[in-house]
Each structure stands twice: as C-alpha cells, then as structure tokens.
Amino acid sequence: MASAFEDTPARLRALPSRLLTQVATHAQRLVTQGLAGADARRYHYALLATLEEFGPASQAVLGRRCGMDRSDVVATVNELAQREMVRRTPDPEDRRRNVVTITEAGIQALHQLDELLESLQDELLAPLSTEERDQLVLLLARLLEHHSRAP
Amino acid sequence: MASAFEDTPARLRALPSRLLTQVATHAQRLVTQGLAGADARRYHYALLATLEEFGPASQAVLGRRCGMDRSDVVATVNELAQREMVRRTPDPEDRRRNVVTITEAGIQALHQLDELLESLQDELLAPLSTEERDQLVLLLARLLEHHSRAP
DNA sequence: TTGCCAACGTTGGTACTGCCAACAATATGA
DNA sequence: TCATATTGTTGGCAGTACCAACGTTGGCAA
C-alpha cells in the first residue's frame, strides 16, 4: 500500500470500513513478514494454538475452531507435518477423520511464535496507550462477534 | 470466512492483529457486495470522491491522494470513463499527463454511493453506540496515521 | 438390510487486492 | 546537451478467502 504523499479526501479518511481495511492491511503485512522471518505463516500459528489449547482434533473441527476453510486446513497441516510440528493419524473410531496432534517440537515452535507475535502486536499498537489498546480490542471483538453470527 | 461454530482459542480471540483482519474481512465483504449491487467497486468511490473534493487531477496525483497504485488508477479510470462518470483529457501543459475530470453523471453516481456507503457503515457498526463508533474511528485513524508515515 | 443423506479429507480452481517491473514518451535540472 | 525523473500503460505475481466436486465413510429411517 502506498503511503499518503498528498492529502486524502475527508470522506475516505473518516470512512470506518476504509480505516479498518487500511489498518488491517498494515497489520497483515507486519505479521506476515514477522512470521516469515520465523518460517511460519498465520495459519500455522492458528492451528498450533488451537491444538495446544483444545487438544487433538479432526481437521474439520480445527477448521471451524479457527475459522479456516477445510481446504486451507489440509495445506497447513501438510506443512506443519513436514516440519514435524504436528502428527496426522487416521481416527480408528471414524475412518473419515484424521486426528491432528501437536508434537513437542510444535509446542516449542508455538511458544516462540507467541513471543514473536506479542512483540508484533506492540509494534502494531505502538501509538496507543494500554487503555486504548483494550478499548480497541473490545470494540473489535464486539464487531466480530456480531458479524460472525447467523448468515 | 467461515463463522465460528466451535470455540475459538483465547489466544486468537484476543489477538489485535487477528481481530483487525477478521473484522476487516467482514467489512470488505459487506462493502464489496453492497457496491456490486450498484455496479461499482471501492476504487470507483475513492476516485470519484477524490475528484469531487479536490477537483481535476492527473492520474498519478489521484493515485497518491487515495493510496492506489498507478496501474490500478489506469484500470479504474478506464471503467469510470466507459460509464461516462469521468473524462480523461491530455494535459496541454504537460504532455505526459492526463487530466481526469468528474462529470455530472459522476457526481450523481457519487452521491448515490455516498448514501449507500453510509447505510453499509451502519450495518458494519450496528452493535456499537455513536460514542463507540467515534472511539473506534479515532483509534483506527491514529493507527493508520502512525503506520503510513515513513517506511 | 437397504437406501439416502451428511460429514470428512482432498484436489483444483476462482476473484479480488495490493503490489512490482518494465516500457516509451515527456519534462526538468545540471 | 545530457542525465535523471515522472507519467501513463501493460503485464504479471503473491496472498487471502473462498467454492465446487470427488470418493470414502457414518448415521438414520424405512
């Protein structure tokens, strides 16, 4: 995204949807690049965190828990399995399913990513005070909750 | 984006960068679909608004004013010119430049898009009070300003 | 039991966005 | 005058969030 060398029209500057997408673009770039430095992607972190928090699960469940499409779960699990951060084993109780389990290496990697992400959040929210950060998170969470209900 | 049928891990739910991108995705879909109903895209609105607010300008200036890549300006001006909402005329004072001017039809379309976008913002921010909306906009604007400075 | 529908993993593909590189034409400054 | 910069334009690329289709497997009802 190009930075603003010239004035941006007021209508655009104050448009909430635009502010959201612009800031999100910066956030995305920041995080994507940061994670790339650790040879990881956002989906990697999402899956690892979900696995550590809720334990082993099928790919479909993983997808629902972190809001990913099933096909993207497949690709991400492939990558994580190749790095030996997760194991994918057929579920004997339901032969349609694969059970994905986090490994010791996966847990270690996750903790490193935790630290990395925390510093990235700091960079992202640099101009805001602690209270303001909490405010922002609260507002966003309410919006997200509202929009991820129903159709 | 899939909605959350199952619990999302706390680490993801509270991650500002993730909240931002998730909400932005919803916002983007909302606005994109809304504008599509009016046979328009976000770039169309950005250019039309910039033209009405600052008057005729070269494509390069337009791009800088609304944070678009020059190549995307070309495509957008093509589309707007085809709809006769803008005119693209060579600048006699600098033969490298095209001067882009909004037409009467463009102004009318812009005003319709203004209304449409306002209702879309309302839908996007539905769960927030007026004060909360202002808070959110303020916080986002500060973040954007901070991150669109310097490299 | 059979038959039907749903869920699972997987593959392959789409649309949109935000970029970047290269080019020729033109302007500008040393 | 010559090097450098800017402009419009074309073409392409990577990442994200999807969707459709498929064969396999499970669950349920008749």
Taking CB atoms within 8 Å and a gap of at least 24, the contacts of B94-98 are B94/B58, B97/B58, B97/B59, B97/B60, B98/B58, B98/B59
Residue B39 corresponds to which tokens in the numbers above? 């046979």
Distance CA B106, CA B124 (A): 26
Quick: pLDDT tens for B9-18. Answer: 999 999 999 9
Q: Are A120 and A31 in contact (CB under 8 A)?
A: yes
Kind of pairing, strands B86-90 and A86-90?
Answer: unpaired
Comparing CA positions, the residue from A10, A12, A147 lying closest to residue B42 is: A12
Task: Tell me which H or E stretch contains A90.
Answer: strand A86-90
Give me the sign of the Cα torsion angle B85, B88, B93, B97. Answer: positive
Nucleotides of D under 7 A from a protein CB: 6-12, 15-21, 23-27
Quick: pLDDT tens for B128-145. Answer: 999 999 999 999 999 999
The strand order across the sheet containing B57-58 reads: B57-58, B98-102, B86-90
Comparing CA positions, the residue from B31, B98, B72 lying closest to residue A12 is: B31
Tell me if residue A57 falls in helix, strand or coil: strand
From first to last of its 151 residues, chain A has per-residue pLDDT tens of 443 446 789 999 999 999 999 999 999 999 999 999 999 999 999 999 999 999 999 999 999 999 999 999 999 999 999 999 999 999 999 999 999 999 999 999 999 999 999 999 999 999 999 999 999 999 999 999 999 875 4
Tell me if residue B98 falls in helix, strand or coil: strand
Chain B interface includes A64 (CB < 8 A): yes
Residue B45 has pLDDT above 80, yes or no: yes
Tell me if residue B58 falls in helix, strand or coil: strand
CA-to-C1' distance for B148 and C7, Å?
46
Nearest beta carbon to residue B8 from set A6, A66, A146: A66
Chain A interface includes B60 (CB < 8 A): no
Beta bridge partners of A102: A86
Nearest beta carbon to residue A143 from set B23, B54, B63: B23
Residue B67 has pLDDT above 50, yes or no: yes
**What residues of chain B lie within 8 A of the CB of A64, using their CB?**
2, 4-6
Residue B37 corresponds to which tokens in the numbers above? 């109903």
CA-to-C1' distance for A93 and C16, Å?
41
Distance CA B79, CA B39 (A): 11
- Taking the whole predicted model, whether its pTM rises above 0.85 is answered as yes
Residue A121 corresponds to which tokens in the numbers above? 């959040």
Q: Are B44 and B35 in contact (CB under 8 A)?
A: yes
